[in-house]
Structure 1
């Protein structure tokens, strides 16, 4: 066994706090003996899974966009000391992470992503030293490239400027090896990060295509060829390579057996199961499951009521602008967005995953995020519309909407073209993918429009916060803890305090 392999496993044990897999009684238990063992280690070190309490990757995006607002209900605050931290995040303050840390609600997303990247890098660095067949090694490589691409895509869209706005701006450091160096990495440009993302996705696709079809996709919670194809489509939308976005979305739709769920056919809600779980392989739209409900709801399920015989209220609600987009007969509003248990007229900022009988997101072992077929139809529509193919674009949207409306209310979309068609598709995207982490990234690539949000405390509006068009706040500040550890990193341009 190459002693470097043993060394990197030890390194993972020291720095990766996100996985119970890395809590051994002895280091030798976790030194992989062959490619199959390394594949198992990859699951523990490079995949975000439920029941991992110390890593949060996906909780920020939902708190930043125009689909969320403050509850207008009066209350006796349950955790009033934490309100300044939530306010800092909600109002896009330039020192949001410091203020969140002051009230113990800061979780270092930057470091968490790089911990998972380290797991993917280690697998790629050492897989060729392992004993195993070509197929056993290729499946490890395919997964590792796919995961690394996803993590860098999310990182650069949190901490770098939008690709279509300024691809020469600073993005995030590219670390594509597990090797330790004496020089701390500086930030690569947004363009360089996207180039690496595309390269990784091409490698992942190549290795998946070299495998038997049975190894290209299975419902085993690992990445797959259709997951890679959908991620490529997503990345190409951000790069404004419209025809390629449409091409890869169509591969997901046409080459695989996933199917859209007809919301008319879902079981009727019951007191025990008030909402259908779309983030599950029982759902025919699901391509890949990852992350946890605890992660994606870390901030938006902040409770403000529940004291002095009050009902339990949540601080954050669905915005009026989102809710009014659902017209009569559209079943998504009731199926996708959870209501307050104590007041069913109030819509919250979560849903689609497993929800308890009291309308609480189920924690622990439940997945919180999915690659869904619906995204492929939306990517196909937008890519086709912007590639001068309105017929394909309208057909994709009509197929999606036909599965979302009651039969008596469904009508095909108007025969729009040009920007009107693009705007229609993007509105459908907002309604379909709400609270799945897309909206903030989409607003960035739409030109970073201005919008405002009210801060309401105990039923009274105390402030209105405005994010201006192309505001620096559309790019998050790098946490101070990260800058202190790496003096080669340059902070983003920060907005003025609000």
Structure 2
């Protein structure tokens, strides 16, 4: 069983629950003298002793979310591979071929790795929340609330990411299907392994509860653009709520939340907190990762070591393992060559590869989790579905015209509710390409995962009724928690 010292890797035990912040006390004095603990070691007894150590634990949750199997890389690789926008070229099972051809099984490495990483981040959050409640005077009351709010935000993000992959879509039956084990306590032993799955609706209710509480106690802004991009603030929680409510079909709440950070008229912007607004689409992916469009991103440094097969930029661009599907959104005729988003590609061997993340090794592109353009599209979709076609079209046009100022949507694309919703969904495929959205957009709308093929490889259509429409539960978890099978 791995233990984690400061700046070392986090251990996983059943349910991928990190115990990394808790080290057992050593035995006799002789042993301590012969085998002294490194000065960076933090034990369960002193992990919350100083403000610096507590801040280190807060940063540790963000680090867990940045795990290579999570938002550090493979989350994007596997969620994009499941959709129809890319063609696999290598049949490499270590870089999501099983996700691409819809053959993931309970023994697949990523099925286990993603679950482990998600629950690892969740337990880190739970440990911090408990530790701060048990040590209420180690930092100020304001910081205590903020840190707990950050932990709740990251716990909500992690549960959302897990429930959308391992459980049936909420909109299938209003969330009555089995969801996930809701682990809300700091797990330091295996005593709570056999935790049953809560329903999908219960998981979403907890996600929303965490985000509501996080919103109340997160700061409006931080002191730098870097912190505003890489740590949760009030608008970060609001932005994620628009995504969560869209996923469960509560369109009135999407609009309510979006209005908090979207002005009533164009050019749209947030009037409180971080001044979010659309920025130059090329710059935000190449030269300015911390612009006000970036609500939350995963920062990469040389110390992260997310390279090779766990690096999304490496797999989809540098190593040429997935080319853009010419019959997917890349082949959409209404996506004009004048659109700046068309510049995110290179051509090799007669096909195109996505270059949204174009830094060379060690691949230090920031990976976006939340961008302001997504919030506008979430709002647009919800407005259309509740009958406000004018507002919906205005938001849609803001996103398109940011990248293609002269483009005018045909009347047939925006003139009716059905046409407008379909156009917004198409715009999401363009705007959010390579950002991990496509497969979930299909699932939340109960649409098939389309078939796709090249001259050498093919993947079948997966219908909503098929068992492989969602990820299987990992064998590594079932072995230690038989309650998952109930």
- Shared topology, TM-score over 0.5? yes
Alpha-carbon spacing, 1:346–1:473, altered in 2? closer, same or farther (3 Å):
same
Moved more, 115-124 or 479-488: 479-488
Match of 2:335 in 1: 327
- SS of the residue corresponding to residue 435 of structure 2 reads coil
Give, in whole Å, the separation in 2 of the partners of 1:288 and 1:302: 22
- SS of the residue corresponding to residue 289 of structure 1 reads strand
Moved more, 445-454 or 112-121: 445-454
Matched, 1:258 2:267: no
Match of 1:222 in 2: 231
Give, in whole Å, the separation in 2 of the partners of 1:17 and 1:200: 19
Identify which of 164, 186, 190 aligns with 1:178.
Answer: 186
- SS of the residue corresponding to residue 339 of structure 1 reads strand
Matched, 1:410 2:421: no
Identify which of 153, 158, 162 aligns with 1:146.
Answer: 153
Alpha-carbon spacing, 1:83–1:383, altered in 2? closer, same or farther (3 Å):
closer
Alpha-carbon spacing, 1:431–1:297, altered in 2? closer, same or farther (3 Å):
farther
Give, in whole Å, the separation in 2 of the partners of 1:157 and 1:462: 27
Give, in whole Å, the separation in 2 of the partners of 1:485 and 1:7: 22
CA shift for structure 1 position 156: 0.3
Cα contact 1:62–1:440 (8 A) shared by 2: yes
Give, in whole Å, the separation in 2 of the partners of 1:125 and 1:231: 24
Give, in whole Å, the separation in 2 of the partners of 1:304 and 1:234: 25
- SS of the residue corresponding to residue 484 of structure 2 reads coil
For residues 379-418 of structure 1, the aligned pairs below 5 Å read 379-405=378-404, 407=405, 409-412=406-409, 414=411, 415-418=414-417
CA shift for structure 1 position 378: 0.2
Matched, 1:316 2:322: yes
CA deviation string 1:159-186 (max 9, x = no partner): 0000011311111110011044624212
Matched, 1:41 2:48: no
CA shift for structure 1 position 149: 0.4
CA shift for structure 1 position 304: 12
- SS of the residue corresponding to residue 185 of structure 1 reads coil
Moved more, 13-22 or 379-388: 13-22
Give, in whole Å, the separation in 1 of the partners of 2:316 and 2:47: 47
TM-score using structure 2 length = 0.79
CA shift for structure 1 position 28: 3.9
CA shift for structure 1 position 252: 2.4
Moved more, 394-403 or 155-164: 394-403
Identify which of 235, 245, 257 aligns with 1:248.
Answer: 257
For residues 43-62 of structure 1, the aligned pairs below 5 Å read 43-48=59-64, 58=75, 59-62=77-80
CA shift for structure 1 position 214: 4.2
Cα contact 2:87–2:452 (8 A) shared by 1: yes
Cα contact 2:84–2:450 (8 A) shared by 1: yes
Alpha-carbon spacing, 1:21–1:332, altered in 2? closer, same or farther (3 Å):
farther
Give, in whole Å, the separation in 2 of the partners of 1:139 and 1:375: 25
Give, in whole Å, the separation in 1 of the partners of 2:69 and 2:38: 20
CA shift for structure 1 position 133: 1.7
Cα contact 1:378–1:429 (8 A) shared by 2: yes
Cα contact 1:332–1:432 (8 A) shared by 2: no
Give, in whole Å, the separation in 1 of the partners of 2:428 and 2:143: 38
Match of 2:38 in 1: 25
- SS of the residue corresponding to residue 245 of structure 1 reads helix
Match of 1:453 in 2: 452
RMSD, matched Cα: 3.7
CA deviation string 1:179-238 (max 9, x = no partner): 446242121110110010011011101212xx5x44599631211111100100000001
- SS of the residue corresponding to residue 242 of structure 2 reads helix
CA shift for structure 1 position 249: 2.1
Please list every run of 5 or more consecutive structure 1 residues that lacks an aligned counterpart in the other structure.
1-5, 72-76, 268-274, 306-311, 492-498
Give, in whole Å, the separation in 2 of the partners of 1:191 and 1:240: 12
Alpha-carbon spacing, 1:295–1:149, altered in 2? closer, same or farther (3 Å):
farther
Moved more, 287-296 or 384-393: 287-296
CA shift for structure 1 position 120: 0.6
Cα contact 1:242–1:387 (8 A) shared by 2: yes
Match of 1:373 in 2: 372
Give, in whole Å, the separation in 2 of the partners of 1:394 and 1:443: 22
Alpha-carbon spacing, 1:444–1:299, altered in 2? closer, same or farther (3 Å):
farther
Cα contact 1:46–1:120 (8 A) shared by 2: no
CA shift for structure 1 position 300: 6.2
Cα contact 2:439–2:449 (8 A) shared by 1: no
Identify which of 114, 127, 130 aligns with 2:119.
Answer: 114
Matched, 1:161 2:136: no
CA deviation string 1:23-80 (max 9, x = no partner): 9825347622245532331112344466x55766513211101111234xxxxx7xx7
Give, in whole Å, the separation in 1 of the partners of 2:280 and 2:85: 24
Matched, 1:490 2:485: yes
Identify which of 80, 83, 90 aligns with 2:100.
Answer: 90
Moved more, 26-35 or 198-207: 26-35
